[in-house]
Structure 1
Amino acid sequence: MCLCAIAANPPGVPFVVSVGTETLPDAPLQLDLDARCLATPGAFDALVGTMNDYPALAFVSPLIVTADGKVMGGADRRGSRHNYVRRDSHPSQLVWMRRNRPGEGSARGEIAVPPNWGLRQPAAVFVLLGEGGETIQGAESDVTVIVEQSIPEPDHSAGHRNIFEFVRTLVRDGQTVKFWAMDGQAKPEYAGALQRMGVEVLSGALRPDLTQWLRQHRGSIGRVLVCRPDVADFYLERIRAACHAPLIYYGHDLHFVRMRMQAGVAEDRRLASAADAMERLERSIWQRADIALYPTAEEVEIVHSLCPDAVARQVQIFCFDDFPPREAMPAGTEVLFVAGFGHAPNVDAAVWFAAEVFPLIVAECPDARLVIAGSAPPPEVVALASATIAVRSWLSEAELTEAYAAARVAVVPLRFGAGLKLKAVEALRNGVPLVTSPVGAQGLPDLDDVAVVAETHAQLAAAVTDTLSLNDADWLARANRQVDYAAARFGRAAMLLSLQAAFEAAEARRG
């Protein structure tokens, strides 16, 4: 039956079956397979793919289930415990793939694997017939639990991208991360991205109760990071009652500040009242958590001024792995505005810029074209499309890179908002000369040394027109000053140091 299963579900690479041989020295990869274990579709390819992603990996083991589809011990294989790639100090006793020759190349996977360790790959499933079995080795410790509104969708918004990079940075450092989604939605595509990084995702139909889960694992939990005011308000006391780990609150931005600015622009009394209520909620969260984290020094100063007893600090929220210099100015005259349109400040900025600022630019530079790019544009943004304005939605990462490469100017014309803006950081990192409002410049000290910060519609228009008229040498000089600015502040190592310092401060506060 074992051979029949191999024949029915063969790997996608050339292979040889050898019965009773301990080592096949000519084979770069070797699978040791107990005859009671039957391969399921895709199992071999999942193991080979993992070894290819990690050239230095010693071994990889699959998920082994019983004939009724349960993992050893009778648990449901769909549970969160068995849905993510995890480090393993010992291979499976029944099925494991090992490397007979040293691998070449750098790892494409995200997980930091110690020497002589391997991985468990749940996408590779083998069915064990008969009695016997094994247990998964290796206890986890010093776990970071992240509690968020939902599983991050990094192509949808800056906030989601921010959380995804937090996770990626911790995982690359070899830390263990668990992710709890308040809304309970499974989101297989986005959950899968975390699971392939080695993150257990606690969401979907089989999600356990958070309080019970924390009590069950309290000895291994190093800290709990809770994001957003509504999530923190619901969970803080529950988490505190379930485990002694430090409680870290991450607000994404000061919600009440953003709401109050929006109320002023819109002259909306109800929104102003909601901003007051949000301020009361955020103040209470600062006092209930061990530490509060925000993207900008200005926000931390506001926290300390309103609540002197609170512990708050700045944390780096965006990072990149490289900062390639610009080598040539693009030929066109595109003005680029990138935004996630599930966020009200971005909708307001697009509509206002198209109506009040861009006509002034076209009057001076008739060839100018505005590209508005981002996720989920609402009807009022879609309606802006014209002969001189293009609205592009749901760009892939490659398409967004192309959009930045083609742009002569990037604009961030926000009239209200709070916190650090990914669109501004991306323009800096991609070397596209930036023109921004003061709101778009929040959290970027000395930005006016490398970019233009302009407040009124006339000032923004003049700054964009001036940038479009730069010659090649001046444009390149400004572009690469921005790249240098970003490289000095938004590397992954800097994000890790920032998170580690925040964790240490929280632990010191908790005692």
Structure 2
Amino acid sequence: MTQPVTKVLVIGYVWPEPRSSAASGHVMQILETFLQQGWDITFSSPAGPGEHKADLSALGIREVSIELNNSSFDVFISELAPDIVLFDQFMMEEQFGWRVEKHCPEALRVLETSDLQSLRHARHQRLKDRLKANSDQDDFSELFAPALREEFELMADTDLAKREIAALYRCDLNLMISEVEIDLLVEQFGLPRQLLHWCPLMIDLPGAPPAAFTDRAHFVSIGNFRHAPNWDAVLWMKSIVWPLIRQQLPQAQLHIYGAYTPPKATALHNAAQGFHVMNWAEDALQVMSAARVCLAPLRFGAGIKGKLVDAMLCGTPSVTTPIGAEGMHAGQPWPGAVALSATELANQAVRLYQDETQWQASQLAANTLLGERYQRAVHGQALIEKLRDCQLNLPTLRANNFIGSMLRHHAHKSTQYMAQWIEAKNRNTSPT
């Protein structure tokens, strides 16, 4: 007997732009994994299309625009009757979770987190506090290696953490990109480990050998300028890190690429200093493959970093901080260098740029790391198996998650009434 095709509804905070952000790239990897199973996929979002939106329809994925606080979604999801609903970012679970539960109670509810936003925001605040308290712009080692308990204490009283972690509890399964974040949630926040599934960036190993040391030039940095950690890294490079590199390599150039380049970023461009703000890269892998060293001096952030996986794919050694490398190499040698200060970042970057032997060793480390931790075939299969297991055992899974049931009861009622009030208000104030 032919098995019915699994129907998946994805509710996205934005439409995917895989060439603009790693988060969108991860969503596309998940969608491609579903397509390989022959699943029927509908992607919906209340957002407008961005400048670099992926053409999902060309892949056979149905695209549907939806509205916030509008009962038209109830009709839409009732007619679609999905087997799995994937919320892309916890805000979408807040907005639509109660409607999904009401109209498709048997659908498996999955949250794709990309990173823990509450962790990223808490770390950003810690950086701001550090900059106010200490004018030293070189050594940030105290920010880079906190114990999980310190991270918990930093997050626990924030509204964002309470909202985000409540959404994790309300879902049947949560896709986590970082093992560090899984440990934080389980060991400090007390989430059941069975609610969390490790799903890192999923890539196919490169077939052709990467460009050689002598065929490359310049430093490169890539990142969406709308993402606060990337913008902070650009500012730190401009003011501190890059001048230290130029002291040792007076002719060096840094090429910075990023989607949605704001005027404040363009204003930093200075060819005389070798600091080139290049706007958006049409092909990030091509740009990365031409560079000799990738710079990613991140002072805060969460999740794992797509730009650093891209660097590995291109055989480009990277120089980053413990924040950049977090959750990415599990104790394996880093394919480049990890540094705690601007001085060390600059020294390591210069060393890799000049030392072909060390550069080649870093390139080999990248190949090893990709093969051990990021293969699409491995993680794609594990994701499908986990989803099927959750579907088969859904009643037991939900019975064992009383906290999630309790949170859905209270939070969804309040969200439902607020949404209905907003819809009624909009109806009464709309022109006739």
| Aligned pairs (5 A) from 1:243-262 | 243=104, 244-262=106-124
Letter in 2 for 1:458: T
Contact conserved, 2:11 with 2:87, CA < 8 A, in 1?
yes
Aligned to 2:255: 371
Distance 1:448 1:142, change over 3 A: same
Summarize deviations over 1:337-365 as a string: whole Å, max 9, x none: 11111101100001111211111111112
In the aligned structure 2, how far is the partner of 1:426 from the partner of 1:189? 19
In the aligned structure 1, how far is the partner of 2:340 from the partner of 2:358? 23
Following superposition, the deviation at residue 307 of structure 1 comes to 2.8
Following superposition, the deviation at residue 187 of structure 1 comes to 6.3
Letter in 1 for 2:276: A
Unaligned runs of 5+ in 1: 1-137
Aligned to 2:269, the other structure's residue is in SS state coil
Contact conserved, 2:224 with 2:259, CA < 8 A, in 1?
yes
Aligned to 2:313: 429
In the aligned structure 1, how far is the partner of 2:61 from the partner of 2:3? 15
Letter in 1 for 2:314: N
Greater RCO (CA < 8 Å, at least 6 residues apart): 2
Letter in 2 for 1:403: V
Aligned to 2:30: 166
User: Which residue of 79, 103, 107 corresponds with 1:242?
Assistant: 103
Letter in 2 for 1:361: I
Distance 1:356 1:448, change over 3 A: farther
Matching of residue 503 in structure 1 with residue 422 in structure 2: no
Following superposition, the deviation at residue 509 of structure 1 comes to 5.1
Letter in 2 for 1:197: L
Bigger fraction of residues in strand: 1
Distance 1:504 1:316, change over 3 A: farther
Aligned to 2:246: 362
Contact conserved, 2:112 with 2:174, CA < 8 A, in 1?
yes
Matching of residue 213 in structure 1 with residue 76 in structure 2: yes
In the aligned structure 1, how far is the partner of 2:389 from the partner of 2:336? 34
Contact conserved, 2:9 with 2:85, CA < 8 A, in 1?
yes
Summarize deviations over 1:157-199 as a string: whole Å, max 9, x none: 111121122112221332221111132x3569846x2111111
Summarize deviations over 1:114-139 as a string: whole Å, max 9, x none: xxxxxxxxxxxxxxxxxxxxxxxx99
Matching of residue 288 in structure 1 with residue 174 in structure 2: no
Aligned to 2:191: 308
Letter in 2 for 1:209: S
Aligned to 2:415: none
In the aligned structure 1, how far is the partner of 2:34 from the partner of 2:214? 37
Summarize deviations over 1:215-259 as a string: whole Å, max 9, x none: 2232xx221111212111111111111111111111111111100
Letter in 1 for 2:74: T
Letter in 2 for 1:265: L
Distance 1:432 1:255, change over 3 A: same
**Structure 1 vs Structure 2: percent identity of aligned residues?**
23
Letter in 1 for 2:280: W
Following superposition, the deviation at residue 292 of structure 1 comes to 1.6
Aligned to 2:325, the other structure's residue is in SS state coil
| Aligned pairs (5 A) from 1:49-64 | none
Summarize deviations over 1:90-120 as a string: whole Å, max 9, x none: xxxxxxxxxxxxxxxxxxxxxxxxxxxxxxx
In the aligned structure 2, how far is the partner of 1:200 from the partner of 1:262? 37
Unaligned runs of 5+ in 2: 133-153, 396-432
Summarize deviations over 1:199-227 as a string: whole Å, max 9, x none: 1111279x993322222232xx2211112
User: Which residue of 65, 80, 93 corresponds with 1:203?
Assistant: 65
Deviates more, 1:456-465 or 1:373-382: 373-382
In the aligned structure 1, how far is the partner of 2:359 from the partner of 2:155? 45
User: Which residue of 404, 409, 413 corresponds with 2:293?
Assistant: 409
Contact conserved, 1:323 with 1:430, CA < 8 A, in 2?
no
Distance 1:413 1:447, change over 3 A: farther
Deviates more, 1:414-423 or 1:303-312: 303-312
Matching of residue 150 in structure 1 with residue 19 in structure 2: no
User: Which residue of 374, 381, 384 corresponds with 1:490?
Assistant: 374
Aligned to 1:156, the other structure's residue is in SS state coil
Following superposition, the deviation at residue 491 of structure 1 comes to 2.7
RMSD of aligned residue pairs (Cα, Å) = 2.7
In the aligned structure 2, how far is the partner of 1:493 from the partner of 1:263? 38
Aligned to 1:267, the other structure's residue is in SS state helix
Aligned to 2:425: none
Distance 1:180 1:413, change over 3 A: same
Summarize deviations over 1:439-475 as a string: whole Å, max 9, x none: 111221235343311111111111101111113x542
Contact conserved, 1:290 with 1:509, CA < 8 A, in 2?
no
Following superposition, the deviation at residue 489 of structure 1 comes to 2.6
Structure of larger gyration radius: 1
Distance 1:240 1:330, change over 3 A: farther
Aligned to 2:93: 232
Q: TM-score, normalised by structure 1?
A: 0.66
Following superposition, the deviation at residue 426 of structure 1 comes to 0.5
